[in-house]
Structure 1
């Protein structure tokens, strides 16, 4: 069992604010929990499977209690493997930059791949959805270049945090801690904002 799985959604490498802040978190986490296993899933590394017509057909076959055809059976194995990689962790660190007021499309793809009946959720016609990822917790790093709370709609809107956190809770992950780096455009003191975010990341990681 992986103690912590870091799921990163930025393709920008060393230029990424979210990845840099994740590194700060992980350094503090290693110091506080030296025996815990950490894994990293870079969603841009090519290992995330597609979720297209065949996979969607397989999902609907599961819902309908139908048999897979050969293509669906093969596709579903890749979906199951991706979910198992995700589910193998006890805790999660998501590092998520804001793209066009929301999350990068690769993170939405990840969510579509792992959100499967009998894996991430169950469904009852009378009671609705039930998340199956009970007992897990997540820390989420959010970064943005322009958006900030209270700046008004001309500076963007936040469909980043509400979307991801609603999905986590829907899947059963109720314990969520957030860390934000949203630079103050008025003072333009990005270094000070980074230091504040880094201190918060270290604090969260030590107790995580």
Structure 2
């Protein structure tokens, strides 16, 4: 059964990014009822802190040393997260923009899965090489400012280029971004932005 991995990055069930994801998934389920949706809520999933045995396991792997039992058990959590991504035929990431970039939970997930031997490797002659196969990936980013028309109130979008590069580094280059914003301020512009983004997401779900 083909699988779509949905990485949900907002702590609010009624957030704008979550609403955009629901609009997309409702249509996706209609046109592809045989697909499995693997829902990964980063606020409900137990993500290990990237310290202690997990961190030491990373350096053991880089140095070509065998894991201790504690390192093996700790690193298994990162391996399971990377495997869920590896097994997905399609990926949906829905996230708010926090302080110009991404929520710390999304950064923690990326820090855990972007590991040597899991999602990339290093070759002395060729440099860093991705280990994951490319797959269509959609990123929904909801922000208080408007990054669609350029009326961003002086704020800078560092989330989009960071996510594009982090995903490319591990092999995922077929990435499309759908911004939703402004989500703050006067009601009319926020409503119009939401409706426009949802129409685009529903249309994309048919072809995704």
TM-score (norm 2): 0.92
Runs of 4+ in 1 over 6 A off after TM superposition: none
- Does residue 101 of structure 2 align to residue 102 of structure 1? yes
2:5 aligned partner: 5
8 Å Cα contact 2:20/2:140 also seen in 1: yes
Tell me the CA shift for residue 70 of structure 1: 2.5
Give how far 1:86 is off: 2.2
Displacement of 1:186 after TM fit? Answer: 7.6
Q: CA deviation at 1:207?
A: 0.3
| Cα pair 1:2 1:39 within 8 Å, conserved | no
- Quote the Cα distance in structure 1 between the aligned partners of 2:81 and 2:174: 22
CA distance in 1, matches of 2:94, 2:39: 11
Q: Which runs of 5+ in 2 are unaligned?
A: none
By how many angstroms is 1:48 displaced?
Answer: 2.2
Tell me what 2:26 maps to: 27
Looking at structure 1, the residues matched to 146 and 74 of structure 2 have their Cα atoms a distance apart, in angstroms, of 38
Q: Cα distance, 1:33 vs. partner?
A: 0.8
1:197 Cα deviation after fit:
0.3
1:1-44 superposed Cα distances (whole Å, 9 cap, x missing partner) = 65201001100112x00000000000010111111111110000
Q: Is the 8 A contact 1:147 1:156 kept in 2?
A: no
The answer (yes or no) to whether the contact 2:147–2:179 under 8 Å persists in 1 is no
What do you get for the CA RMSD once the two structures are aligned? Answer: 1.8
Name the counterpart of 2:181. Answer: 182
Structure 1 gap segments, 5+ residues each: none
Normalising by structure 1, report the TM-score.
Answer: 0.92
Q: Could you tell me how far 1:64 is from its partner in structure 2?
A: 0.6
| 1:42-53 mapped onto 2 (5 Å cutoff) | 42-53=41-52
C-alpha separation between the residues in 2 aligned to 1:17 and 1:125?
Answer: 44
Within 1, Cα distance between the matches of 2:195 and 2:98?
A: 23
Q: Distance in 2 between matches of 1:148 and 1:207?
A: 24
Shift in Å at residue 90 of structure 1? 1.1
Equivalent residues in 2 for 1:111-190 (5 A)?
Answer: 111-146=110-145, 148=147, 150-151=150-151, 155-183=154-182, 188-190=188-190
User: Residue 198 of structure 2 aligns with which residue?
Assistant: 198
Corresponding residue SS for 1:133: coil
C-alpha spacing 1:12/1:186, structure 2 compared with 1 (3 Å): closer
Which 10-residue stretch deviates more, 78-87 or 89-98? Answer: 78-87
1:84 aligns with 2:76: no
Deviation of 1:178 (Å)? 1.4
Q: Tell me the distance in 2 between the aligned counterparts of 1:155 and 1:54.
A: 42
Q: Give how far 1:109 is off.
A: 0.3
